[in-house]
Each structure stands twice: as structure tokens, then as C-alpha cells.
Chain A
Amino acid sequence: MRGNTRTNGVWLALAVLIVFGLLRYENFGSAYNIASFLNYNSMFILIAIGMCFVIMTGGIDLSVGSVAAFASVVAAYLSPYGLEVALPGGVLAGVGFGAVHAFAIVVMRVPPFITTLAGMLAAKGGALVLSGAKTIAVDWGSNFTKLGMENALGVLPWTIVIVAGVGLTAWCVLERTSLGRTVLAIGDSEEASTLMGLRVNRAKVFVYLFSGGCAGLAGVFLASGFGAGQPLEGLGWELAAIASVVVGGTLLTGGLGSVPATVAGALLLGLVFNILNFENGRGTISLSAYWQLVIRGAFLLVVILLQTRMSGGHDAADARVPD
């Protein structure tokens, strides 16, 4: 693996922001803030983990936001049957989209960027058709909303417990299995990986199924946490996920990446918003939602510039659309 300098930055920034928040805001470290912060960001961490795997192979998945919206509608329709049906149903809906993407990318050899762009449109259209362009209320009588609204053992939200499980599994798969090693090898050089006899196609199919599944699970969280399947949600989620992955030091050209650093990247982006909200709350500044967009973009710019500097600009040669 090439140097870890890329991922050190994100941990440092995360630590600085947390210390800053703890010192400046009274309720920053409160159990309520931590729980609601983690609960809300669990969806973004999930899709960032899925995105991380796709990007490590040199691909991209632009469909995650729409797929999550689609899955949230599916889960809302299935909610009367309980969590044990709605959760796998939502995840399977996401995996289904992942399977179509994998087919187009691996068999038809359409570039991931285009495939998942089309997937984004299709999932959005699908979600609107399925829901009749309305939000679909979940069944509050079943145990479905417990997932997004209650804490495990009364401490941490269920969502974040599940995300931790997914993250740990993904980490192990990446670092300890031949599948994970193949994912990284493909990103470095797909041709070399094929020549070495690695099961390239299997790994590529896996990452799109995994990303779809993560988006599906995020959709289930969305429906459960907000009490409705939301066909219009998910706009810009893919960008948040890509930003998290980049902030976490993963190269967009593939071949290098880390699950913990991606999670840290997602937390860092979420934390910037959390802190902005606290600042708004204190009344020292008054930032509209529009300013938050500008700041988010500026933040992404700073991180990218820092990354380029740290990596000695060696990715200049790799600067191209992942395909």
C-alpha cells in the first residue's frame, strides 16, 4: 500500500472538529446530540462504504441516492409485514438495481459512470411510479419504525449498530479476503489483475451489488426513521458519498482505499453541518441552507487541495473519468 499520509489528514481534521465542538458548545457532547447525529448520518455512512468499494475498483455509482429513495418506498409498502420482511425487501430492491448495473458494466461493457447515471434516472422514475409520486406512510402498528427511532439497549440507535456491523464486515472483507484484495488490484490495473488470473468480473459484480445493497439499507433507515417512504429523497446523496470517500483518502482512480477512513470522511462532512447548526443556534452567525451548500463545496475544495499536496500530485497522470 502506498503511504498512509492520505488518510491521516481526515482523522486529524475529525479530531480537531470534535475538540472544537466540545470546547465551544455546551450540548455538543450530550448523549442526545451524539445519538441524533449518528442516527441521521448512518444513512450517509452506509452509502459511503458502498461507494468506497465501487471507487476502489476505479468505478463510480451515481445511483445511490435514487436507489435509496426507491428502497424507502418498497420498505414503506412492506412495513405492515414487520421489520423482518421490510428490511430484507428494501435491501433486495437495492441489490436488484446493483445487479442491473453489474450486468451493464461487466457484460455490456458500458462505463460505470453512464450506467449508474442511467440507474439514477431509472430508480427515481421507478420510485415515483411505484409510489404514485406521493410519500408512502409506514405502518406505525408494526415494529418497522423501531429500527430508525429506538436505541439498542437504550444507548445507541439501532441504525448505527447495524452500520457498525456492516462497516466492520466490509473492513474485514477488504483487508482479509481475496475478494477484497482483488477489488484493490482491479483499481490499480484491471488488465494486470486479469492476466494474473484474479476473478475480476466476480469482484466487479460484487462491488455494485454491495453498493446497491448499502443504498437499499439506507433507504430502509430513511423510511423507518422518518416514518415514510420518500420517492423524492436522495437528491445529491451520491455527491455526499463521493465527497466522503474522497475526504477519506480513497483515490478516485481506484487501487487505494480504506473503510475506516471513508467512515471518518462521512462523519467529518456530517460534523461540519452539525457545527454550522450549533453556530446558527448560538446566533453568532446566521447561515441559510444556501450558504451551507457553498461551504460544503469550499470544504470539499480544501480537502482535495490538501490531498493533492500530500500525495505529491502523483495522480496528475491518472486524471480522467473513471471508466
Chain B
Amino acid sequence: MRTGTRSETSPRGRPSPDVSWLRLIRRHGTVAALLALVIFNALVTPNFLQLQTLFVNISQVATIAIVATGMALVIATEGIDLSVGAVMALAGALAPLIFMSTFGVEHPVLGLTAAFVLPLTVAAACGLFNGVMVSFLGIQPIIATLILFISGRGIAQVLTNGNLQTFSNPAFSYLGTGKILGLPFQGWLTLALAAAISWLVTRTVFGRYLLAIGGNERAASLAGAPVRPVKIGAYVICAILAGIAGLIVVAINSASDAARNGNLMELDAIAAAVVGGAVLQGGRAPIFGAVLGAVIIQLVKYTLLANGVADEVALIVKAVIIVLAVYLQQTRRE
């Protein structure tokens, strides 16, 4: 499943062939953890092997997975995007404003199209802002994306006056409640997006440059890679994916709450990407790994919740998982 390949410019070649158990865990840890979680749940959690459980988990994991794939792209350039949650809130706040406006009500089809296109354009603009700050102004990614992290949600709240916008629009809600072949629409959408991004990383020039820049930016630059456009591209894609996730959350709830949409999503997305094999020093973009990571994060949440473990304890467990996952990734590099 793992599509993350090390770039050619990376100083390290193929991994050394020692076969210790630690290495096994590192190589197949993500899949092993997933299997362990599923088996544990099948034995312990009541009603786990039910379609309903699957639906609930798919519809909840989709947003994390979509954002995590974008995050994996940004992390591959040795960056980070803290603004994804705020971008979700912004896109999610805009969509209902558009299709509930007088124009949107009078022209349902145009209004609905605009309700998808405009929020995603705004999201892309946020990504452009992040990318320009990082690549042209040389501002550290944490700080560059911190700006929108703070003010993006503020803008969303200003737009909606901080009110919860509820609506009834079956066509829009399909994004969050529709089903194809009996499975939630956003699950299929997640897979399609992940496949597209994975293709972008492994099969296109953009992808090769992306991994090369993350592996060694200076070397890539000297070799003629268009460092700035590629980096900006990564941030723009990440922001658009966050925008899509924001729309899905709004569609699921048939309501837009700028204060809560995407709150703490940056943490989940970073955790999912890292659990899925992304390395913070860049150079790897495991897209399906990030999706798997998101599934694991979601399953851990669900396991704890379904077995009556309090939310707050679940936070601590998540913290331990994140540190252990990075620790294992880290030792692989050394």
C-alpha cells in the first residue's frame, strides 16, 4: 500500500537488509497496528462487526484522511501546515452563505456550483498565501501557516457573525450523507482523491521534484528543480483538500459552525501523516500511508469511545501513539 518512495537525490540508498523485529515493526507497523486494532475490536467491542459501525467510521475518517494526504505533501517538502483547520472553517462557512443567498435560491444549479467552486478557490488562495510566505519570503512554515491558523477561523466567524448556519439542501448534503454501492460517498471521494494525489507524487514530474526538494532542497535547486512553484503547489493542494474536508463536515451536519469546523484538525492530520510514514524532515510522501494513518487514528478514537473510555483519556492515548510513531520513524532514519 505504501507509495512513499525515497527520492533519488537522497543520500541513502536501499535500507540495509537486517531483519530484526524492530525493523519489521517499522516497515509494516502501520498495517500491523491496523490489523491489531481490528482484531481487538472484533473480540472486545460489542457490535463492532456491523455495517453501521463501518459507516460511522468511514464517514468520520474521510475528513481526517483527506486533510492528511494534503499534509503529507506539505510535510514531504519539509514543511508543515497548521492552517488546515482554519481553512476548513472558512470553506465550510462560505458554502451555505452562497447557496442560501438570494442568488443561490433563485438559481439553484448555479448557486450549488458556486458553493463548491468559490470556497475551494478561497481555500486555494489560502494555500497560495502560505506557499508564497514559505517559498518567496523564506518564512518558517510553522509561522507562515500560523497567521492563517489564527485569522482564518476569525474571518470565517466574521463572515457568519459567529452564528451556527443550519440549512436543508439535499443536493449539497449528498457530499456528506450520500451513498454509492451502500458505502458513504465521502469514503469513495477520499479514495479517489488519495489515488489522484498518489499518482501526482509517483508518476509526474511535479512528484519527483516534490520528493527531491524534501530530500535535499539545495541539491534539488542546483539540479534545476523549480523549488518555489513546487512548494507553492504543495501548499495549494493541501489547502484545497482542507477546503473539501470543510465542505464535507458542513454537509454531514447540514449546518456550518465556524467555531468548531476543523478544530484541532491540524493535529489529527499531522498525526495521521506521521503514523502513515511521513518523515518531518521531508523527502517522503506516503499518500495511502496517510490514509491508513487516518484510519488508525479514527479506530483508536472509536475503540476507546466504544469501550467506555473517557474522551480525555483518549487524548492521552493519542499523544502516546504520536510520539511512539515518530520515534519509530526517527530511528529508521538514523
Contacts and interface: CB of A to CB of B under 8 A. Distances in A.
Nearest to A305: B137
A318 interface: yes
Contacts of B141: 319-321
Contacts of A109: 327, 330-331, 334
Given A301-B147, A320-B78, A321-B80, A111 B330 contact: yes
Interface in A281-323: 288-298, 300-301, 304-305, 308, 313, 315-323
Interface string B151-164: 11111011001100
B274 to A, nearest CB: 7
Contact of B146 (A239, A289, A322): A239
A308 B137 contact: yes
Interface stretch (B51-59, B240-248, B306-314): B306-314
B272 to A, nearest CB: 13
Given A293-B157, A298-B151, A113 B80 contact: yes
Interface string A242-274: 110010000011000000000000000000000
Interface stretch (B27-35, B202-210, B318-326): B318-326
Interface residues on A, range: 35 or more
Contacts of A291: 154, 158
Contact of B330 (A110, A236, A294, A313): A110
A120 B312 CA distance: 12
B222 to A, nearest CB: 13
B138 A319 contact: yes
A133 B313 CA distance: 11
A319 B134 contact: yes
A300 B312 contact: no
A124 interface: yes
Interface in A98-122: 104, 108-111, 113-115, 117-122
Interface in B113-166: 133-134, 137-144, 146-155, 157-158, 161-162
A38 interface: no
B142 A252 contact: yes
B280 interface: yes
Interface in A224-254: 236, 239, 242-243, 246, 252-253
Interface string B172-185: 00000000000000
A296 B140 CA distance: 18
A126 B319 CA distance: 11
A299 to B, nearest CB: 9
A266 to B, nearest CB: 16
B151 A253 contact: no
B147 A300 contact: yes
A166 B192 CA distance: 54
B154 A292 contact: yes
B142 A316 contact: no
A60 to B, nearest CB: 7
Interface string B256-292: 0000000000010010001000001100000000000
Nearest to B158: A290
A319 B267 CA distance: 21
B109 interface: no
Contacts of B318: 118, 121
Nearest to B77: A320
Given A246-B143, A252-B142, A321-B78, A293 B150 contact: yes
A285 to B, nearest CB: 13
B320 A118 contact: yes
A320 B141 CA distance: 6
B145 to A, nearest CB: 11
A308 B78 contact: no
A110 B139 contact: no
Interface string B96-107: 000000000000
A297 B151 contact: yes
Contact of B158 (A120, A294, A298, A316): A294
Nearest to B310: A129
B19 interface: no
B327 A108 contact: yes
A242 B313 contact: no
Interface string B23-57: 00000000000000000000000000000000000
A128 interface: yes
Interface of B: 78-80, 133-134, 137-144, 146-155, 157-158, 161-162, 267, 270, 274, 280-281, 310-316, 318-320, 322-323, 326-327, 330-331, 334
19 contacts: A109-B334, A111-B330, A114-B270, A114-B274, A120-B319, A124-B315, A128-B310, A242-B146, A246-B143, A252-B140, A288-B157, A294-B154, A297-B151, A298-B147, A300-B143, A300-B150, A315-B139, A319-B140, A321-B78
CB-based closest 3 A-B pairs: A297-B151, A293-B154, A316-B138
